[in-house]
A and B are shown apart, each in its own frame.
Chain A
């Protein structure tokens, strides 16, 4: 049996429901783990100890009275610190918002609380989600639990580190160009970017409205599915939310993969990979074939538009959001984010619309791909976790910007809105996690989670933990 802090929600929920485990004991165990470990990983900006214990006592009383709400009841979860929490400081990882205390909860928080979850704290992140490394000049860098000299990736780096190190059972991150999947891959956890509009963003500090997504991170596919069920759905306060029926994300997880069509990109995603990453992901694809899936090579020339389209879209939209704060509070921004927003400020309307034309091209190409296959699988990233402070890596004698590479690998799913999940599929020789992403048709989260779950069941990767 793993230590309590490394159990999964699926393992804990029956014990909580049957009153064999107390939400208060569970919350105290996680708070103790945070006290012991978080100095090394710096996953939390704010720990909500007293509020969490109050919620846990409330959950305990409800369960004792026979009012069990479901699998998240009494489970400690964390939030990326750009998600509004009523009465609790929400910094977005920036000094600009260091004293910002929201007067309402984000919709996702309300939904988690309705499901009985215990919000235990606010996670470290790249400032304003505007970066992929989670190096943070204001609140300190988040550090990778597998090797604390290595980066977590970002921008939801504190969330991934917290889940990986047993400092919460699940987290809610945001993903504009890979910010859930990148840190999930580098920290060895499961991270899902759902379809655009499936999860409300009301009460979340935006980075880029047309690319932002909220989604769950946890230590198993089933746990991610359970959290998604709790947070998905229409919200009148978010005009982008999907108004249709929310599907059941858990029931189909155990189904087999016989006949499932997997697309494996011949270009783009397998360019410039570290050899260990390439071998590991190709091995994982062979495992999926052994489980009955049929892999087909796909070629999508339009993928070369992804970087152009993502960069212009995210920078221009971010610059619009920061239009007033940037000139007035320039000194409060970190150097990297300030320069990035200045770049966004000089992007023209013509460039922005060119990017949206490119985006349409990409969307049409992806539509054609999904007429041939059910899912697309690819490495989440080109490499395992780089050292904190490292900005470039050498590939065949060419210097590659690491943060740009992270975004390049992830952005397709943001530009098209399709769902994508990153799962751990192995480790490097130096014990660093490697991730694989599975992308699917819009609102077909059940299929990508089924593929992820099938892999997880035949793999031992999930049972390895850092800092034991």
Chain B
């Protein structure tokens, strides 16, 4: 895994230190565990939050936004 991480960072121009690689590897393993737990919620059919709603009458500035929660509650 470390070699893959080193290569991925190298492609981005980042000359990563060995000590950093160990920390990144440990973090990615932790993230993987969290990801497996998340899959219990059957995420495959869920529309990502980054998909936003365009409403009639909105001007074009809404097409340039960063992902928004678009949360609508009563």
Residues of chain A at the chain B interface (Cβ within 8 Å): 196-197, 209-210, 236, 239-240, 302, 304-305, 307-309, 311-312, 323, 326-328, 330, 338-339, 342-343, 345-347, 351, 353-354, 356-361, 363, 366-367, 370-371, 415-418, 441-442
Contact = CB atoms under 8 A, between A and B. Distances in A.
Given A370-B73, A418-B71, A360 B38 contact: no
Contact of A210 (B8, B61, B68): B68
Contacts of A304: 37
7 contacts: A239-B64, A309-B38, A343-B28, A345-B9, A351-B35, A361-B46, A366-B71
Consensus secondary structure, chain B interface: loop
Contacts, number: 120
Q: Dominant SS at the A interface?
A: helix
Nearest to A363: B71
Interface string B54-74: 000000011011111101111
* Chain B contact patch, size range: 35 or more
Contact of B71 (A339, A342, A416): A416
A330 B64 contact: no
A173 B7 CA distance: 37
Contacts of B14: 326-327, 330, 342, 345
Contact of A356 (B8, B44, B49, B62): B49
B68 A312 contact: no
A359 B48 contact: yes
Contact of B65 (A236, A239, A366): A239
A347 B20 CA distance: 15
B69 to A, nearest CB: 4
Interface of B: 5, 8-9, 12-16, 20, 23-24, 27-28, 31, 34-35, 37-38, 41, 43-44, 46-50, 61-62, 64-69, 71-74
Given A330-B15, A358-B41, A307 B47 contact: no
B49 A359 contact: yes
Contacts of B37: 304, 308
A389 B49 CA distance: 36
Nearest to B32: A351
A366 to B, nearest CB: 8
Contacts of A339: 20, 23-24, 27
A302 B42 CA distance: 11
Contacts of B65: 239-240
Given A308-B38, A338-B20, A367-B73, A346 B68 contact: no
Nearest to A347: B31
Contacts of A239: 61-62, 64-66
Given A239-B64, A356-B67, 12 more contacts: A239-B62, A304-B37, A326-B14, A328-B13, A343-B28, A345-B14, A354-B35, A356-B49, A357-B48, A370-B74, A416-B69, A442-B72
B34 to A, nearest CB: 4
A128 to B, nearest CB: 16
A354 B73 contact: no
B15 A354 contact: no
